[in-house]
């Protein structure tokens, strides 16, 4: 039996997952989040559109149908819509993977769909403080290597009676999101396997956490008055740190690329 066009199936899937789609649009336009998720949508669309179409697998609607059944069961159990949106992302991934990419599941595409969801405020709430603590611990290690006896107190660095805060914007949540977006986009571009894509995403997390620690260390010198720099150096340090993390992600992703790719 000939299947309907991919665009028609995609529209039908979005209609079936309408509550999750409505939550996504409302959350993306909500002021508590940002619209950066649209970049992930664009990257996912490009990954699907620019990849040469491959023959659809046998029973390509099996996994999307299973996702729909799981969504209906979650709805009946009154699971919150944000949690159900993860099933929506999985359904989109399996549909596009089966009909366009010639595989059952594409990890890079799934990561992009997850990154597109409007969870910015939620991630900042739950991950902001732990990431600041990790950055503080790594900064203490780096500073003590340079002979500066600092100690971490909560999300602050104590030195000579003064406290230098690692504030919320320096938690690295946005940098982590951008690093994962870069890794997922690169993995999709070079068509890494799901296992290699998962490895690239994990390495991206390590690279971003390390870069954020270096940023916090550099800012400590500035905020503590050890080095006198103009106020514009604060943003420049962040840009340089993320550029270094991005270069590391690019290098590691290319190293994961199969030789025959």
Closest CA to 116 of 64, 168, 46, 166: 46
- Ramachandran bin of 151, using left for φ above 0, alpha for ψ from -120 to 50, beta for the remaining angles: beta
| Alpha carbon distance 207, 139 (integer Å) | 15
Sign of CA dihedral 111, 114, 119, 122: negative
Q: Domain limits of the chain?
A: 1-118, 120-261
| 142, 214 contact by CB (below 8 A) | yes
Each residue's pLDDT, cut to its tens digit, for the chain (261 residues) gives 567 788 899 999 999 999 999 999 999 888 777 788 899 999 999 988 887 777 667 788 889 999 999 999 999 999 999 999 999 999 999 999 988 888 889 999 999 999 999 998 888 889 999 999 999 999 999 999 988 989 999 889 999 888 888 888 888 999 999 999 999 999 999 889 999 999 999 999 999 999 999 999 999 998 888 888 888 888 899 999 999 999 999 999 989 987 764
Concatenating the DSSP letter of every residue in 164-195 gives EE--GGGS-HHHHHHHHHHHHHHHHHTT--HH
The pTM (predicted TM-score) of the whole model is: 0.93
Distance from the first to the final alpha carbon of the chain: 34
Side-chain-side CA neighbours of 163 within 13 Å: the count stands at: 8
Q: Label the pairing between strands 151-153 and 156-159.
A: antiparallel
Which pLDDT score, from 0 to 100, does residue 203 have? 96
């Amino acid at each position: 039996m000939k299947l309907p066009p991919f665009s028609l199936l995609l529209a039908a899937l979005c209609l079936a997952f309408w509550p999750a789609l409505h939550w996504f649009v409302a959350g993306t336009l909500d002021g508590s989040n940002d619209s950066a998720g649209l970049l992930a949508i664009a990257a996912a669309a490009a990954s699907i559109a620019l990849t040469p179409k491959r023959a659809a697998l046998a029973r390509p609607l099996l996994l999307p149908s299973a996702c729909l059944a799981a969504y209906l069961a979650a709805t009946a159990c009154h699971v919150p819509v944000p949690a159900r949106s993860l099933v929506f992302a999985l359904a989109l991934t399996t549909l596009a993977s089966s009909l366009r990419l010639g595989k059952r599941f594409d990890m890079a595409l799934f990561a992009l769909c997850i990154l597109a969801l409007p969870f910015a405020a939620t991630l900042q709430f739950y991950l902001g403080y732990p990431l600041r603590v990790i950055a503080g611990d790594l900064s203490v290690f780096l500073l003590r290597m340079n002979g500066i006896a600092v100690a971490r107190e909560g999300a602050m660095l104590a030195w000579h009676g003064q406290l230098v805060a690692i504030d919320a914007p320096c938690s690295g949540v946005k940098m982590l999101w951008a690093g994962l977006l870069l890794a997922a986009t690169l993995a999709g571009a070079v068509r890494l396997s799901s296992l290699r894509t998962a490895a690239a995403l994990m390495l991206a997390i390590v690279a971003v956490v390390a870069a954020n620690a270096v940023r916090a260390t550099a800012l400590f010198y500035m905020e503590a008055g050890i080095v006198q720099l103009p106020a514009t150096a604060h943003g420049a340090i962040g840009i340089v740190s993320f550029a270094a993390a991005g270069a590391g992600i690019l290098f590691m992703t290319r190293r994961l690329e199969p030789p025959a790719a």
